[in-house]
Structure 1
Amino acid sequence: MIFRSIGELIEGRPLHAVGSHETILEVCRRLDGHHVGALAVLDGDELVGIISERDVVSRVVARGRSPAETPVRSAMTPDPKTVEIGDGLADALQAMLDGHFRHLPVMRDGRAVGMISMRDIPTEYRLMYQRFREARQAQEAVEA
């Protein structure tokens, strides 16, 4: 199947989230239980951050903090970059590559409705995008 938009890709997929007041231990349980690498962090309906496996390792475990006592708010990435549900996959891919991260919350009308990860983007899209960037860089070098 060829996906044209992020919405088509995540259709029917639930948003996995955690509250900012919950603990890292709960984050780990949800990451494991849902088989995902990141969760949206919500205060009510408002997206306030994202918490990933990498955040847990670097901001909690590596610093010797207790997962059972560390609140999500102190380890999350606040105000994450997001994409809109109607955006194309190339938009999500570019945002992830430019920002050096693997997960993006998906928004609709100002509310988080899903999460997209690098592994969700088909290999063909990633390869085409890489070739496009290489061609653009080569063209810019010729013009310089």
Structure 2
Amino acid sequence: MIIKSIDQLLQGRSLVSVTPDATIREACTLLDRHGIGALAVLDGPRLVGILSERDVIRRCIAAGRRTDETRVREIMTPDPQTIRRNASLADAQTVMVEGGFRHLPVIDAIGSIVGMMSIRDVPTEYRLMVERFREAQGAPTAAQ
């Protein structure tokens, strides 16, 4: 199946999330168990942040913090940028490239989180097409 939309991309996927009070060790266990690179951080139903492998490495491990004592809320990226589930893959890629991040929470029409996507989810042909278009427009690309 050729993926044409974020909605199609999310079909069959469940959202993996963590609370702000979980330890980094607990969050890393979830990342490993599910084979993913980022978690949505939820306070009840509300998205309050995102925790990526990069956050763990830079803000916990490299900073000499203990993973079993550090809480997700201490190192997560708060109030992450999101994208609507009806947006295009090209729009999602553009948001990630311009923002310099690799994971993007996906929300529905009322702002509830419904999934998480990664830059790796965007098919290669889409990435190349968007990069060529951005180059033609003089905008920065993922390679820059």
Shared fold per TM-score greater than 0.5: yes
**Amino-acid identity (%):** 57
Size of the aligned set, in residue pairs, is: 138
Distance 1:130 1:93 in 2: 9
Shift of 1:2: 3.0
Structure 2 alignment gaps of length 5 or more? 140-144
Shift of 1:133: 1.1
What RMSD, in angstroms, separates the aligned Cα atoms of the two structures? 1.1
Structure with the higher helix share, 1 or 2? 1
1:1-40 equivalences under 5 Å are: 1-40=1-40
Distance 1:62 1:13 in 2: 32
> What is the one-letter code of the residue matched to 2:125?
E
Shift of 1:12: 1.4
The two structures have a TM-score, normalised by structure 1, of 0.93
Distance 1:95 1:54 in 2: 18
> What is the one-letter code of the residue matched to 1:121?
V
> What is the one-letter code of the residue matched to 1:86?
N
The two structures have a TM-score, normalised by structure 2, of 0.93
> What is the one-letter code of the residue matched to 1:97?
V
State the match for 2:125 in structure 1. 124
Is residue 2:94 matched to residue 1:66?
A: no
> What is the one-letter code of the residue matched to 2:83?
V
Larger-Rg structure? 1
State the match for 2:116 in structure 1. 115
Shift of 1:4: 2.7
State the match for 1:134 in structure 2. 135
- Classify the secondary structure of the residue corresponding to 1:113: strand
Structure 1 alignment gaps of length 5 or more? 139-144
> What is the one-letter code of the residue matched to 2:51?
I
- Classify the secondary structure of the residue corresponding to 1:106: strand
State the match for 1:142 in structure 2. none
